[in-house]
Amino acid sequence: MSDKSINSGERLQKVLANAGMGSRREIESWISAGRIEVNGETAQLGQRVQPSDRIKVDGRPVSSKRMAAPEREVMVYNKPEGELVTRKDPEGRRTVFEHLPRLKHGRWIPVGRLDLNSSGLLLLTTDGELANRLMHPSRQVEREYAVRVMGQVTEDQLKQLTHGVELEDGPARFEEIVESGGDGINRWYHVVIMEGRQREVRRMWEAVGAQVNRLKRVRYGSVMLDSALKVGRWRYLNTPELNELLEAMGLEPEKRQRAPRSGGDDRYSGRTSKDGARQRREDGPKRPWKGRDSEKSKSPGRSDGESGPWKRKPGKKSAPTKRREGTSDPWGRKKR
């Protein structure tokens, strides 16, 4: 590696993230795995590159046209159960990328993951820097989930979840827990968490002896999953929504106005009335945090009565842990 590459230019992971090839964390994992070359040599973490440098990913050159930062786009996808948040699956299962609009430049970067059996709000963007900031633990961005738990949940179990439980990859806690109804042996709760470790919400309930049988993300930061967006459908964020997200992440807001755009897979629109009723029960209250400062809505074991499900106040951070990232094909090649 030349001194020029070491001491000047932009960091390699930032350049590729800005080109929409992935989040910085993803690209750092590719560098560590030896998948990226610069001028014929294996790239190193922290390496800086110049516009004239020749970059290859998995042996394929990255063209200067591709290196130009794509137009920033951010969308919400209402993910159904049974789809993977990955670009290709060796078992041939459905992936979310099969139903997203094609891009002329860049690629869709998922902001976090939802596992195969989870549903709800999935943010995707072409902006690697925005994706990195939204996922980074230091940003303390809230994720809200509607969780259906089987069996009776005690006050002691709820207190454990808000005070903190020990998982195999470190401690974890919910910022808020609000009961939102249910019948029979199932109860619904809305929970807020500040990080996105693999299957973290499910594992936390398991740690206190409770079983989750439905899990749906309903909010990421300031973006809510609105009831008008049906399962399997997507829509682009409008200008006010996008700018609120950008400003919260310390990025410059946009001035251009965006026309509403939406689409997606209609295969889920033909469900039976029973399925539709189940979906409505999933959603729970439209504004689960309304009245959360009252005694009734406070989380067990909490006495501060904090409000506003956006960003946590300083001094309440959980121990940061490394988020697990899956590998993916950086070229976004369409499966045949």
Q: Does residue 310 fall inside a structural domain?
A: no
Assess whether 196 and 225 both reside in one domain. Answer: yes
Q: Which of 44, 67, 90 is the last residue of a domain?
A: 67
- Give the domain range for residue 28: 3-67
Are 58 and 82 contained in the same domain? no
| 99 in the same domain as 30 | no
Domain containing 13 — which CATH number?
3.10.290.10
Q: Cβ atoms within 10 A of the Cβ of 70, count?
A: 18
Q: Are residues 155 and 139 in the same domain?
A: yes
Q: Is 326 a member of any domain?
A: no
DSSP secondary-structure letter at 166? E
pLDDT number for residue 7: 55
CA distance 6 to 181: 57
What CATH number does the domain containing 247 carry? 3.30.2350.10
| pTM reported for the whole predicted model | 0.68
Distance CA 260, CA 235 (A): 8
Determine which one of 3, 53, 58, 115 is catalytic: 115
pLDDT tens, residue order, the chain (336 aa): 444 445 567 889 888 887 778 778 889 999 999 999 999 999 999 899 888 889 999 998 887 766 666 688 999 999 999 999 998 888 989 999 998 998 877 789 999 889 999 999 999 999 888 998 999 988 999 999 999 999 889 999 999 999 999 999 999 999 999 998 887 789 999 999 999 888 999 999 999 999 999 999 999 999 999 999 999 999 999 999 999 999 999 999 988 888 788 888 766 654 433 444 444 444 454 444 443 343 333 444 444 444 334 444 444 444 433 434 444 444 444 444
Active site residue 226: no
